[in-house]
Amino acid sequence: MAGSGKVHMRNTGNTVLSVEDLVVEFALSKKTAVQAVSGISFDLIQGETLSIVGESGCGKSTLGKAILSLLPVTSGSVMFAGSDMTKIDKEAVRNLRPQMQMIFQDPISSLDPRYTIRQLVSEPLEIWSRGSAEEQSVKVDELLNSVGIDPTIAGDRKAYEFSGGQCQRISIARSLALEPKLLICDEPVSALDVSIQAQILNLLQDMKERYGLTMVFISHDLSVVKAVSTRILVMYLGKVCEIATPDSLYDSPKHHYTHALVNSVPIPDPSKKVARVILEGEPPSPVDPPSGCRFRTRCPAATELCATEEPQLRDMGSGNYVACHHPRG
């Protein structure tokens, strides 16, 4: 699965974000380093939602932060709004920030407990001096209303007085204050109850339409991203396995890892056969990844070729791309 290659890149005129050969390394000691993201490429067209799916440790969150230059990038490029974020200086990156915002996994910890909801949501407006204090206040009320929080009741309370779902609504309101082009959601619902998850996913969809957002949606849960994505990118140990549209990905996953992921999702219907465990073991350590295809140690279809040669992404037709020597039929 160690997938590299760029056949899936579309060079259309309205590309919002284009990531090429992105590598992010963390130094473990003076001599060794671990590659959390090893050569990922993808692009994102205006109005799309790209979901990045993978298990913990596959590098999906690192990828999200690296896109926003919240982490130092080792090599590769991130083209956004006409500049390569990895090449321009700190101040230039900072000036691009209003156009790209992020929503985090832990809704409570992403809000400073010292400030009221109103102060938190107006913070981005203050940083960039958008409008007078009065205009800002009007904007904050409007934002809170749009995410279903009543500013007159909740505005002067602090984040820890709210439930996880409400905090996530507040985070969403804050991230939209600057009217960004690109919104990166890092596991925005994985800390929430199933019933609340649906509310937040719907809200994100509404906001996407209302503000014309382009989104990157990072999740470990294939079922969550189903309703929101236009394209899904499956990651394993820092590499791309498969990129596909949701319908073809769920109906006929081409990569063996994707297949395993799809079949591991529990189905709330006892009449459907429970999938026997189809994937043994756990991902190997990213410090010392397997040669060739990184998934081969757990793959049911692995051959010698997989150990020696890294599969490149190839076009399977109808918008599907897979990095596998022996894709499923």
Are 116 and 158 in contact by the 8 Å Cβ rule? The answer is yes
Distance CA 266, CA 244 (A): 22
Q: How far is the CB of 207 from other proteins (least distance, A)?
A: 13
Sequence-ordered list of residues with C-beta below 8 angstroms from that of 133, at least 6 positions apart, any chain? none
Q: How far is the CB of 191 from other proteins (least distance, A)?
A: 10
H-helix or E-strand containing 69? none
Q: Which of 6, 221, 297, 326 binds other proteins (CB under 8 A)?
A: 221
Q: Which of 27, 30, 82, 114 binds other proteins (CB under 8 A)?
A: 114
Which 185-204 residues touch other proteins, going by CB under 8 A? Answer: 193-199, 201-202
Bridge partners, 35 (sequence order): 25
Which 36-95 residues touch other proteins, going by CB under 8 A? Answer: 55-56, 65, 68, 70, 94-95
Distance CA 292, CA 305 (A): 8
H-helix or E-strand containing 52? strand 49-53
Concatenating the DSSP letter of every residue in 113-144 gives TTSBHHHHHHHHHHHTT-S-HHHHHHHHHHHH
Q: 38 or 61, CB closer to other proteins?
A: 61
Q: 5 or 234, CB closer to other proteins?
A: 234
Which 258-277 residues touch other proteins, going by CB under 8 A? Answer: 260-272, 274-277
Which 235-254 residues touch other proteins, going by CB under 8 A? Answer: 246-247, 250
Q: 192 or 293, CB closer to other proteins?
A: 192
Q: Which of 40, 63, 173, 222 binds other proteins (CB under 8 A)?
A: 222
